[in-house]
Structure 1
Amino acid sequence: MKFLKKRELWSHKGDNGKVLVIGGSKDYIGAPALAALAALRTGIDLSVVAAPEQTAWQINTYSPDLITKKFEGDFFNWDNVKDVIDYCEDGNFNAILIGPGLGLEPNTMDFVKEVVERIQLPKVIDADALKALKDAEIRNAVLTPHKAEFYALTDEKLPEDLEEKAKIVKNQAKKDKIILLKGHTDIITDGNSIKLNQTGNPGMTIGGTGDVLAGLCLGFLAQTKDLLNSAHTAAYLNGRIGDYLLRKKGYGFTASDMIELIPIIKKKIKWI
């Protein structure tokens, strides 16, 4: 049985998914753009980036396929909270991603915690946003930390042993708070079951591959509302794309190289 439903013949723009990426800052422009493009390549209809104004204008020049919503300031801050939440609630989005390129300004961390706790939509939480949520109420979400971000989120140091590591991650997850721990072997868990993913390679330590992963998860979540399987499918596909690029190009491929391959490799995987 396929994970994604077949697109209806008479569907209209927006019927197949609309997502919002909340990210970017004056220092980080590429991360939210990569994530939004990755989401778009999963088969959704519309991908929007909410970003500080100057960052959003630069994203507009990066790709004509992305829509941007511009907010005042160089970084997201407490003053943006109401406007961002209103935009999320009024925009008919199926899922949101918060984190790529946000930066670590204290005001941004306060913004993240408030937005995550108040927005009820299915969400993916990645990158800098994870560092703001140690004591937050997190629901209806996929979290995508690497081991350092997992420590910042939980105060738990992870061992090298895979079985012990998986137990610790499982204990921190819940049915409505999925954890996708990125690593040599990805661990995906809802606090009950554990899925492991072993696609991928050391070439994927290059910057931006995590943004692509978060975007893939966002796109699948928008189409299915299935937190656990969206996370697992995203991890598997992300690694398969990286493995293909390693065979074709060797080390030195980029996250941008991955974007174009998403629909091609996805089509080869019969269960997606």
Structure 2
Amino acid sequence: MASAASSPASVDAAILEGARRLIPPLTASGHKGQNGKVGVLGGCREYTGAPYFAGIAAVKVGADLSHVFCTPGAAPTIKGYSPELIVLPFLPDESSPLDPQGSAKLVSQIKAWLGRIGCLVVGPGLGDDPGVVAVSRTVLREARAAGLPLLVDGSGLNFVAQDPDLIRGYDRCIVTPNLVEFGRLAGGLGLELDGAIGPQWQEQTQQLAAALDGPIVVSKGPADVISDGATTAACSLPASLRRAGGQGDLVAGSIAAFMCWAFPRRGGGGVDGGDGRRALMHAAYGGCAVVRAASARAFAERRRSMLAGDIIPHLQGAFEEVFPDA
């Protein structure tokens, strides 16, 4: 992989090829689940769209199964969006107080599923209910202890910003902040970075990744800047000029599918010669590239009226456009 000083064109070509190598072939001998099982820890009564977008993007990009761990108030709505999602209402009910025993039971229910999935997305639509956040933080710790690849997005970034040690030093993790979340996360690490779009953007993303000392940072914007703290790349494929709510959740789900492919065997190294961090850099780039291409197609059709849901039907065509030989 090229360093931050390399030309953008050479970085793009190398990392895109790395992402292509992660994609498993489709064969008649394959079985359900072999191409990835994604878990999404997210969804509360107020926010049901975010976990749906993350979960559906993962299976549309090529993962076999998506599981959504949400609150009971969110479950019927998320189930109604799509029969493709396995919806598990194991997060606390926001309207009821939760005692330590009840919290431990819910964590245990989710923990039982962690061995069945290849990647866990933490955060889409979680909200800020204290009981939901407490259980989610504990599940994140359990997933890390189990060596499960993690992607932290949305509401998950809020509690990680408050306690960066939840992910600091963990090299099977990707964080996907937008501009505001970037600033919060930097502040939690004691860094004076604003993530502002401009000449310093790639350098700031690399600084944030270096401070996290393990996780890959994907700073979303006009170009998606991806860094592991030592190397940096920018996914600058043409994308939508519209910024509709839910686009970031589609990115999270798309990257999660690639993360499953990067770690096809739990407990082993990444497919890139055992280099897990390099595999995650490639996974991040691949997921970003597919959603950018899909959003460009959707925007060409819908222009100002484009919504995140309009991007979903274009994921297949975008995937084939970005990875024509996969």
The TM-score with structure 2 as length reference comes to 0.77
1:181–1:71: structure 2 CA closer, same or farther, 3 Å change rule?
Answer: same
Which of 150, 169, 172 pairs up with 2:208? 172
Say whether the 8 Å CA contact 1:48–1:66 is kept in structure 2.
Answer: yes
The aligned runs of 1:206-217 (5 Å cut-off) are 206-217=244-255
Q: Return the alpha-carbon distance in structure 1 between the equivalents of residues 283 and 111 of structure 2.
A: 24
Partner of 2:241: 202
SS in 2 for 1:115: helix
> 1: distance between equivalents of 2:180 and 2:206?
17
Question: Is 1:130 aligned with 2:165?
Answer: no
> Which secondary structure does the structure 2 equivalent of 1:53 belong to?
coil
Question: How far apart, CA to CA, are the structure 2 residues paired with 1:72 and 1:131?
Answer: 17
Q: CA deviation at 1:221?
A: 0.8
1:85 to 90, 107, 111: 111
Aligned residue among 175, 181, 184 for 1:149: 181
Partner of 1:73: 92
Q: Is 2:206–2:229's contact at 8 Å kept on the other side of the alignment?
A: yes
Where does structure 2 lack aligned partners over 5 or more consecutive residues? 1-16, 264-278
- Whether 1:267 aligns to 2:306 is no
One-letter amino acid of the structure 2 residue matched with residue 253 of structure 1:
M
What letter corresponds to residue 74 of structure 2 in structure 1? T
Query: Which of the numbers 9, 22, 27 marks the counterpart of 1:8?
Result: 27
Contact 1:145–1:181, Cα closer than 8 Å, also in 2: yes
Structure 2 residue 67 is matched with structure 1 residue 48: yes
2:76 to 57, 63, 81: 57
Which structure: larger Rg?
A: 2
Q: Which sits farther off after the overlay, 50-59 or 76-85?
A: 76-85
Q: Is the 8 A contact 1:33 1:59 kept in 2?
A: yes
Structure 1 residue 168: deviation in Å? 2.0
Q: Which residue is 1:236 aligned to?
A: 289
Following the alignment from structure 2 to structure 1, what is the Cα–Cα distance between the partners of residues 290 and 280? 16
Could you tell me whether the CA contact under 8 Å between 2:54 and 2:249 is conserved in 1? yes
Percent identity of the aligned residues? Answer: 26
What is the match of residue 49 of structure 2?
30
Find the aligned partners of 1:16 and 1:213 in 2 and give their Cα distance.
18
| Whole-angstrom distance in 1 between the partners of 2:89 and 2:136 | 17
Q: CA contact under 8 A between 1:176 and 1:227: conserved in structure 2? A: no
Q: Say what the alpha-carbon RMSD is for the aligned residues.
A: 2.1
How many equivalent residue pairs? 269
Structure 2 distance, partners of 1:75, 1:84, is 17
Normalising by structure 1, we get a TM-score of 0.91
Give the drift of 1:72.
5.5
C-alpha distance in 2 between matches for 1:188 and 1:271: 24
The secondary structure found in structure 1 opposite 2:73 is helix
Give, in whole Å, the separation in 1 of the partners of 2:131 and 2:257. Answer: 28
CA distance in 2, matches of 1:85, 1:131: 22
Question: Could you tell me how far apart the structure 2 residues matched to 1:49 and 1:176 are?
Answer: 26
**More deviation in 48-57 or 212-221?**
48-57
Matches within 5 A, 1:81-120: 81-89=107-115, 92-119=116-143, 120=147
The Cα of 1:271 is off from its aligned counterpart by 6.2
Task: Specify the alignment match of 2:14 in structure 1.
Answer: none
- Give the C-alpha shift of residue 108 in structure 1: 3.0
CA contact (8 A) 1:112 1:132 kept: no
Whole-Å Cα distance in 2 between the matches of residues 163 and 30 of structure 1? 34
Deviation at 1:150, TM superposition (A): 1.4
Please point out which of 165, 175, 189 is paired with 2:227.
Answer: 189
What letter corresponds to residue 154 of structure 1 in structure 2? A
